[in-house]
């Protein structure tokens, strides 16, 4: 992130232009070194050489997440992620992470709505072992009844800890469920407690057999390797596995009907701090948006809600002093849709009605007048700088290309993002603001402190239910 302090306009313009042009060199370099190929069994392999240190990041992405779960077994994708660290035919229960640790490496996993990923970071000489181990549990997982029951208690406790003990997480779930009336993004990744409590060995086995196969996976290796080395290792390990003909096609899910009524939720909870207002808008993702809309949305939300220079922060916190903080984000990585989020914490001397009124005024101003060229140039420079700086991180690169390929974006499309961001115009920003900041395509939620007897005081103008549809998902615990 670039910080712009007090400086002359000419200095600011020079800084912006310098950073804005930097990605072209980087993009060309990245494009030349990122390669991908497909094994005969259908498994895709992406290689990102990085020879600065003898280290590799090894990731396996499955094109299966919480939104692919059958009705009635919510949480099974995340549950299976936990069970993948139990017993296989060759690896005893719980030994997988211990082996990685003994080799001096790190490992973890996460589940999202659209993908599940497993990764290790190790010295490059241990890459063959990582491939052998991941290939082993891709097809040879042994689900032992007692281990399944024990791990089910673990995920139930995880839900109690991460969701039930957090008023903001409770409201987030409820708002997602109200935002998605028909699409499975309205169901939380971790699952509904009453369905999680019934998850069985048979449920896990069915999901595993249905989705875990080489032709439904993307292997990403970033680090001190060559494409030729990775191909040889992948063919010797993953290449021996048999494809599953039932996977690999388009993922067809229920789609959302048109929004016609704005929705509101209110949660009163004694554990809440200052009154807080949240606003979620349904929006397209990079995968589903019309041409140029996702890039314009990314910049719009950066100008509107990200950081202390954003329009909302300046209006609510700096100028009117009716909020202690304000912000937001655009979640555009989803396979089927995205989401715009805004939030503001009321100042002690203010109330949520005034906060909401001011938010709506700021949005109306952007819809009517757009944004300044200076604000747009600053947002582009910040976005492109983030892209470049993040590209210096091996693990971040593995995630960037792994996630993109898991939801169907091409390597070229990912590499070209800085160039497309740079082409966004002020008219584009104004257009997407008018199209997607539509109150009828939104859910507004309020979180306020209250007496202890009001812990369950959720009221709504729509059905309650939750979800975590963000592309960045829950880590394994």
Active site residues: 81
Q: How much helix, strand and coil, in percent to the nearest 5, is found in the chain?
A: 45, 20, 35
| CB neighbours of residue 199 within 10 Å | 24
CB-based contact 171:267 (threshold 8 Å): yes
The Cα–Cα gap between 232 and 213 comes to: 19
Q: Residue 396: which region, alpha, beta or left (left: phi > 0; alpha: psi -120 to 50)? A: alpha
Task: Round to the nearest angstrom and report the end-to-end CA distance of the chain.
Answer: 30
The neighbouring-strand residues paired with 315 are: none
CB-based contact 30:391 (threshold 8 Å): yes
Instruction: List, as one string, the DSSP characters of 80-142.
Output: HHHHTTSEESSS-TTHHHHHHHHTT-EEEEEE-SS-EEEEEEEEGGGHHHHHHHHHHHHH-EE
Give the helix ranges, DSSP H, for 323-415. Answer: 352-369, 373-390, 394-406, 411-415
Q: Nearest 5 degrees, angle CA 213-CA 218-CA 223?
A: 135
The Cα–Cα gap between 134 and 203 comes to: 22
In the block, residue with structure tokens 């499309």: 413
């Amino acid at each position: 992130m670039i910080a712009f302090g007090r400086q002359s306009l000419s200095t600011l313009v020079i800084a912006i232009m310098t950073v804005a042009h930097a990605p072209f060199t980087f993009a060309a370099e990245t494009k030349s070194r990122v390669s991908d190929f497909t094994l005969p069994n259908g498994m895709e392999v992406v290689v990102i050489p990085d020879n600065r240190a003898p280290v590799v990041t090894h990731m396996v992405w499955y094109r299966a997440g919480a939104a692919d779960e059958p009705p009635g077994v919510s949480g099974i994708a995340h549950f299976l992620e936990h069970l993948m660290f139990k017993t296989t035919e060759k690896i005893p229960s719980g030994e997988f992470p211990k082996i990685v640790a003994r080799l001096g490496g790190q490992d973890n996993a996460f589940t999202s709505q659209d993908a599940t990923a497993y990764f290790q970071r190790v010295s490059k000489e241990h890459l063959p072992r990582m491939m052998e181990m991941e290939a082993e549990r891709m097809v040879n997982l042994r689900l032992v009844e007692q281990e399944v029951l024990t791990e089910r208690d673990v995920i139930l406790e995880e839900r109690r800890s991460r969701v039930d003990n957090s008023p903001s997480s409770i409201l987030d779930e409820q708002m997602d469920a109200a935002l998605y009336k028909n699409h499975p993004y309205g169901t939380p990744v971790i699952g509904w407690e009453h369905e999680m409590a019934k998850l069985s060995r048979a449920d896990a086995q069915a999901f595993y057999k249905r989705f875990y196969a080489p032709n439904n996976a993307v292997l990403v290796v970033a680090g001190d390797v060559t494409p030729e080395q990775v191909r040889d290792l992948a063919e010797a390990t993953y290449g021996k596995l048999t494809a599953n003909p039932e996977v690999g096609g388009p993922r067809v899910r229920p789609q959302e009907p048109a929004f016609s009524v704005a929705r509101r939720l209110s949660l009163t909870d004694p554990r809440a701090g200052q009154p807080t207002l949240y606003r979620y808008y349904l929006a397209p993702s990079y995968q589903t948006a019309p041409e140029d809309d996702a890039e314009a949305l990314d910049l719009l939300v950066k100008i509107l809600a990200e950081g202390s220079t954003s329009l909302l922060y300046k209006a609510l916190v700096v100028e009117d002093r009716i909020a202690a903080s304000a912000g937001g984000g655009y979640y555009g990585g989803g396979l089927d849709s995205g989401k715009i989020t805004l939030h503001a914490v009321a100042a002690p001397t203010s109330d949520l009605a005034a906060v909401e009124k001011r938010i709506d005024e700021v949005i109306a101003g952007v819809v009517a007048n757009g944004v300044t060229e200076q604000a747009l140039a600053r947002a582009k420079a910040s976005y492109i700088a983030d892209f470049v700086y993040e590209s210096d991180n091996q693990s971040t690169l593995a995630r960037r290309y792994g996630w993109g390929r898991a939801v169907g974006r091409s390597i070229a499309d990912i590499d070209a993002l800085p160039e497309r961001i740079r082409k966004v115009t002020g008219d584009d920003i104004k257009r997407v603001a008018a199209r997607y900041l539509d109150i009828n395509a939104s859910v507004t939620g309020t979180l306020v402190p209250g007496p202890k007897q009001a812990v369950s005081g959720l009221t709504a103008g729509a059905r309650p239910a939750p979800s975590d549809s963000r592309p960045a998902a829950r880590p394994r615990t």
